[in-house]
Each structure stands twice: as structure tokens, then as C-alpha cells.
Amino acid sequence: MRELGVGLIGTGFMGRAHALAFNNVRAVFELPVTLKLAALADADVERARRCATAWGFARVHNDWQQLIDDPTVDVVAITTPNHLHYPMAMAAVAAGKAVYCEKPLAVSLEQAAAMRRAASAAGVVTRVGYNYQHNPMIVLARQMIDNGELGQIISFQGEFSEDFMADPASPWSWRCDVEHAGGALADLGSHLLSMARFLVGDVESVCADTQTIHTQRPASAGSAERRPIVVDDQVHALLRFAHGARGTLSSSWLKRGYKNHLSFEISGTRATLAFDQERLNELRLCRAGEDGFQRVLAGPALPGYAAFSPAAGHQLGYNELKTLEVHELIMALAGQGSTGIDFAAAWEVERLAAAIRLAARQERWVRVSEV
């Protein structure tokens, strides 16, 4: 079998998640390629060495360009802060290498568009880390919608909230810099935008409001120095889908009590379907004529689930979803799959986010085609 060399940039939380996924996918699935963990890059070379040893990577680079230039690397996985996605991905595409980039795709729509065009021109495989969509239950939800079990879709209500920035004493980080990140909408809401498009379809127009609650944060933990914050802490939007459905979207990183509350309710003329990522192994379904919701549990009949567990109710987790995402990437690289979120689809998410920001700024309905 052909050998596929993986190069990973970054050793933080997402770097570790990618490393686990690349290791797990070899153990869980029979792959059409031989997967080799070729190289790991991080600016902190000592940390890179420790992580490479723990995660099984063959060599270490302290410069990301060196990793991209490494002839043993075929696919470049990018898990760095958002503002580095663009230069790294563009360099990898220019080198003719596949790219697996964490979300959001870029820090501006212009950058995302350039990445999409470059990848298309180079003909390389790209994927973006919207791993929640690889949940077998989300795939089932899409099938139920496509099969007409919900009837005509009339509404989508979605929320993605966490509380990791709820404390005003939480220090400034790169997530608070508009040039490096994009606030709660980019960090959390982009997942929900992608999910809404996957399940219900294209959004035609939006009206929105964004708000920054904590306008200053400590420059570092315990510091008396304050740094101004201009990125959004929370966003609320109204959506008009191209096929006629209406929707609402909200996202906040200040909402106490929520840790990973990516949730939605989709209502149709025949049924309502509900999901919450904090209970990612189940859907709730209420059909016309029923008095309440029934619980639909994940089980081995669903594609992907049986690779990890032979019985229902035994639960998949975050790292399993990442493994399923990596499996789809590898199958695409082997010419056997095309269901993941590539740069073109991720650009559509960024365009929708840009329309929401414009609508909030100008306090009006904005057609996505304007952006």
C-alpha cells in the first residue's frame, strides 16, 4: 500500500487531538494506505521533542516551513492559532500537499477566498476541522431530513455556548485579538453555521446583533494591566434559508454552566428533531400525533459507530469524532471519499459569518450574496 506521511503543526489541545486521531484511525479502521506520522513542528522545540516521542512522530522541526518542505510529509495538519492558518495553508498548497486545517479557515473572508482559490487551482485535497458533523447522530439527522421524515423544514433554532470566558478576570489571549481570531462567532458559532448549512441548506439572508460584554481583560493572569477587547462575547442572529425555512442562531462564551452546548432544534411539518453536543450520543424526536419527545440512541447500525463499539448506549466521545474526521480525510486522499468540509465549503461558512457581522454593524437584513 502507498505510504502517507503526516506532518502536524502545533502541540496544544488541538495538536494533541489530531495526534490521537491519527494514531487511533490506524487501530480502528482498515486503511487503504500505510499511515506514517512523519514530522511534528512547534516553535518550542523542546516541547515538540517531548510530544513527538509521546505521540509517535518520527522527527521534529522548530519551523513550520521546514515541515512543509519535508519530503516525507504528504498531508499538513494545522492546529495553530487562527491567524497562522492562512500562511501555513497557502505554503502547503503551493508545495502540492494536502491540508487538514482547524476551523475557522481564516481570520478574514479575503484570506479564506484566497485559500479556496489556491487549493482549487492546485487540485489538492483539503479538509477543515468541523468534526462535530462527523458524529453518526448528525449523519442520521441529515438522513432523516433528506428522507422527508420531518416533512417540510420550517425552522432551525441553534445555539453554541460555553463559559470559558465568563469570568471577567480571565486574562487576554490571542482569542481576544480581532486580527488573530474573531470572537465567539468565529470560535464557537462557526461550528453552528456549518451545522445549519449541512442540515438545512444555504442561508439566503441574515439579521444580527453582536455584543462585547467584558470590554477589558487583564493583560496576563493576575496582572493589573488591562487590555481592551473588541471581539464579540455573544452573537444573536435571524436566518432566512434559501428553501424558505426560518432560523435563529446564538453563540456565547460567557454562558455559565455550559461546557460544549452545541445544540439545535429543527422543526418540520411532520416532526421536530433536537440535538445537544453535551449528550452527543442521542437525538430527541417528536412526530406529529405524539405527546412528547422520544430518545434515539446511537448504536452500531449507524456508520462509524460500530468501529468503536458493538453495542448501543456505550457512547462515543470527542476524540472518536476527530478520528472519524481523520478517517474521512484519509479516504479522500485515497480517492474513496468526498463527504468532508473542504476549503470551498469552509469559505461558505466564513461568508455567512461575514454577512452576520455586516448585518450587526449596519443594523439591517443582509443578503449573503452581498458579501
Confidence at residue 179, expressed as pLDDT on a 0 to 100 scale: 85
Q: Return the number of other C-beta atoms located less than 10 Å from residue 181's C-beta.
A: 19
Determine the residue type at 322.
K
The mean pLDDT of 192-201, rounded to a whole number, is 98
- Whole-angstrom distance, CA of residue 78 vs CA of residue 100: 6
Nearest to residue 283, comparing CAs of 145, 162, 188, 185?
Answer: 145
Residue 39 to residue 59: CA distance in whole angstroms: 5
pLDDT in tens, 210-243: 999 999 999 999 999 999 999 999 999 999 999 9
What does pLDDT average to over the chain? 97
Model pLDDT for residues 109-119, shown as the tens digit of each residue: 999 999 999 99
Instruction: Express each pLDDT in 232-277 by its tens digit.
Output: 999 999 999 999 999 999 999 999 999 999 999 999 999 999 999 9
CA 216 to chain CA mean position, Å: 27
pTM for the whole thing? 0.96
Angle, vertex CA 145, rays to CA 311 and CA 240, nearest 5: 135
70-82 pLDDT, tens digit each: 999 999 999 999 9
With a CB cutoff of 8 Å and minimum separation 6, the contacts of 276 are: 261, 262, 263
What pLDDT score was predicted for residue 311?
96
**pLDDT, mean of residues 108-137:** 98
User: Which sign, positive or negative, has the C-alpha torsion 18, 19, 23, 26?
Assistant: positive
| pLDDT > 90? residue 365 | yes
Count of beta carbons in the 10 Å neighbourhood of residue 218: 16
Q: What would the mean pLDDT of 5-10 be, rounded to a whole number? A: 98
Is the backbone peptide bond immediately before 171 cis, with ω within 30 degrees of 0? no
Residues 6+ apart with CB under 8 A from 95: 68, 69
Q: Give the pLDDT mean for 307-330.
A: 96
Burial of 227 (0-12, 13-18, 19+ CB in 10 A): middle
The full set of domains in the chain, from first to last, is 3-131 (3.40.50.720), 133-312+342-370 (3.30.360.10)
